[in-house]
Structure 1
């Protein structure tokens, strides 16, 4: 689900990508709200808070909101920079570095209480880490799926879902109705898995706190492992099939 791009990418690849990483985003979203009362999967609301602090003259309080926005942007920048660098060098695993970086960030925050940070390293720093991680994920998913999948926020998703559901009422007998139906199903899947992530993240947070993010890191690790196993299984199967065909052709 990570390595296929362009014409080689199918609806199934996007569905697997969307379900896994929207679940991760839901967990991060609930942990951010419960642990530090901050949105950590998108930056839309932070623009409003930043504007409020600026207008009321609370410039020092406005700075963290500006940094929230910056770290999400920085995550997206770093993610795509890694992807483009790998593509330029013709590497097969262009998704590996961004994903490993996201896993590392989630683990770092999940083990936050063990790092013996001073009081100066507070909730804002946790938000910076998580927004950076979600910027990485959002850019990676957008790039791989060619803007078909979004996993870290639902505003645009609900907009597209509303448009496509309305279109389906008019074009259900159209030749492209099948594609429209798949798009609707994909967006509903993202919403369901994001919501599931929020619910499970909330339940886990009340039991293990920030360590809930270790579960999110584990989910990404499993997705990467399964993706590699599926790839090598298919690669080996095709290789053996070619050898078998070549052997019987000669005979």
Structure 2
């Protein structure tokens, strides 16, 4: 449990960040591959959606244009939500600043897992079902989190940048320095980065295999274990804040009282 606390807590080491990134890459791979089976598109593939916007404009295909635009806006909204939550939590000195977006992602994955079949029939103004927008929002939420935690050095919902970085490090690894090259000018591969980029890509692929298999044979409810994993990562620092932060206690207490006043009476 103490290990889980450090994964999304305030004070983390580089090795802990790498472990967290690998777990998030696994989760994104599972959700992305499962999303293809459900809605027949990769909901974290923003490069593809941006191209679809251009194609829709040129071809005059309104449905293609609106669908891609909706996915783009949902992804952006997810990343923006992460930024708002993280900065709000940091302003109030909460140690769970990075855990809170993860809790929200877990909650939305539970909604998707339990109500995904229903949301497939819910229309939206963007010519795609609500499920597409929900999955894109979740992916934006997670990618914003991994980027915020790593100061822009790590993305976990798409691998294009990491595949590029892996290629660069492999090039440096096989590059032959001239024997007269001074030591400070020699080209050297960053072996830690090489292993990390390879690990991220590998975990994304493994997650995709697990996600596709689960959605194929079990269905929407397969994401419930993924949500449970995210909750396991995010709850320890949140519980610690809940014990120590008077502000958080007052805020939650106020929300509970407000919800209690709005709830209908249970008796006849």
CA, structure 1 residues 200+45, in 2 after alignment: closer, same or farther (shift >3 Å)? Answer: same
Unaligned runs of 5+ residues in structure 2 are 1-6, 242-268
CA offsets 1:209-229 (integer angstroms, 9 cap, x no match): 12222122122122335x659
TM-score (norm 2): 0.76
The residue number in structure 1 matching 2:9 is 3
Q: Kindly report the root-mean-square deviation, in angstroms, between the aligned alpha carbons of the 2 structures.
A: 2.9
Q: 2:160 aligns with which of 155, 168, 177?
A: 155
| Structure-1 residue corresponding to 2:254 | none
Q: 1:3 to 1:42 in 2, by over 3 A?
A: farther
Deviation per CA, 1:42-91: give whole Å up to 9, x if none. 31101122221221112243112101001100100010111011111211
Identify which of 68, 77, 92 aligns with 2:80: 77
Aligned with residue 135 of structure 1, among 117, 120, 140: 140
Give the gaps of 5 or more residues in structure 1. 233-251
Normalized against structure 1, the TM-score is what? 0.80
Q: Structure 1 residues 60, 204: CA separation in 2 closer, same or farther (over 3 Å shift)?
A: closer
Equivalent-residue separation in structure 2 for 1:174 and 1:136 (angstroms): 43
Please give the alpha-carbon distance, in whole angstroms, between the structure 2 residues aligned to 1:17 and 1:192. 14
Q: Does the 8 A contact of 2:75 with 2:136 survive in 1? A: yes
Q: Which residue of the partner structure matches residue 40 of structure 2?
A: 37
Alignment length (residue pairs): 227
**Aligned: 1:28 with 2:26:** no
8 Å Cα contact 2:85-2:100 kept in structure 1: yes
